[in-house]
Amino acid sequence: MSNDSFPLRKVDHVRHFVNNARQAAYFYQHTFGFDLSAYRGLETGSTDEVGYALKQNDVTVWFSAPVRPGHPMAENIAFHGDFVQDIAFEVDDPDWAFTTATARGAKPWREPHTLEDDHGKVRMSAICTYGDTVHTFLNRDNYHGPFLPGFRAESEPGDPIGIQEIDHCVGNVELGQMNVWVKWYEDVLGFRNMLSFDDKDISTEYTALMSKVMASGNGRVKFPINEPAAGKKKSQIDEYLEFFGGAGVQHVALRTDDIVYTVSRLRARGVEFLKVPRTYYDMLPDRVGAIDEDIEVLADLGILVDRDDEGYLLQIFTKPITDRPTLFYEIIHRKGAQSFGKGNFKALFESIEREQALRGTL
């Protein structure tokens, strides 16, 4: 695309800082069905931290944990709990990316440097974004090993469930900070604002939030940014900020081409999703018109549907996957629609009200 002032190829990987990377890797392998593809730890000469890289189609997740007391990573984890620390981008030139981003106002995280092993070289650099989150820039064109230099190959296949790629990653920021970070993504990384929601779009009796969706120049990287808005009770964004200890990644949306299959498999493996009132499905045909899927099947699985000018989408949200009410996942299946399911907020609220009305408690 022309007019891309900061070319990003795509999201390369999402790195999590966790207390126990072995158990996190096991969870993602046995629920989401990722392959364990690479490992580093004491056995490979990594003397103070352990890492597991897992892969399914175009999605790579990396779990890092400290293995000694006093590691700087341990402080972050003690404060936030397990969290997404890095959304890393593949770029042509990590040196240019670092110089340009910092000249445009980004705070540096890691100066450009090279990691190297028998399989080749990876050039990397990194900048800070909201909270304790960072964006790494890396180029692996001259690397032919598993994941990154220093990792050894592992070949423990998962049982894949059709997850294709990262559709979008959502950040929660403090009240008044959404536009600050929108401008930051525009100024520093050349993103553009593709959609905005205000509290009239996304509000219920219980929660309200504002959201702006930022997209990279080539459109492949999409980052909605949320901030809380005043509701009658504490908003879900306020809850996140309180329990997380500030701004951070709220959810990662994974794209599938067969949401019924993906969600059936996740449910069978014990992943829990937000509950959807039955009344939501009574209103569905009127709201979204004809769809290919059987509404009874969607209702059994709790899959939501929304329509925009270009088509429709199916989506579902897990419950938080950590002890704290912080990080969760979305599974999304796009059938033309390029939006994010705005209609589901209102529809969910209305169906909850209808359930209340049936109970006589509205």
Residues binding Fe ion (CB under 5 A): 253, 330
Closest CA to 316 of 360, 249, 259: 259
Least Å from the CB of residue 204 to Fe ion: 17
The pair of structure tokens assigned to 170 is 């959502």
298 or 304, CB closer to Fe ion?
304
Q: How far apart are CA 310 and CA 339, in angstroms?
A: 9
Least Å from the CB of residue 241 to Fe ion: 18
Q: How far apart are CA 336 and CA 36, in angstroms?
A: 32
Least Å from the CB of residue 12 to Fe ion: 20
Radius of gyration of the chain (CA): 21
The pair of structure tokens assigned to 9 is 């190829």
Q: How far apart are CA 307 and CA 323, in angstroms?
A: 33
125 or 172, CB closer to Fe ion?
172
The pair of structure tokens assigned to 266 is 């996740």
Q: How many residues appear in the chain? A: 362
- Is the torsion defined by CA of 213, 327, 110, 29 positive or negative? negative
Least Å from the CB of residue 168 to Fe ion: 6
238 or 330, CB closer to Fe ion?
330
Least Å from the CB of residue 275 to Fe ion: 18
DSSP for residue 162? -
106 or 170, CB closer to Fe ion?
170
50 or 166, CB closer to Fe ion?
166
Least Å from the CB of residue 103 to Fe ion: 32
The pair of structure tokens assigned to 212 is 């702006």
49 or 330, CB closer to Fe ion?
330
Least Å from the CB of residue 256 to Fe ion: 14
Do 226 and 250 form a contact (C-beta atoms < 8 A)?
A: yes
132 or 330, CB closer to Fe ion?
330
Q: How far apart are CA 31 and CA 290, in angstroms?
A: 32
Do 312 and 306 form a contact (C-beta atoms < 8 A)?
A: yes
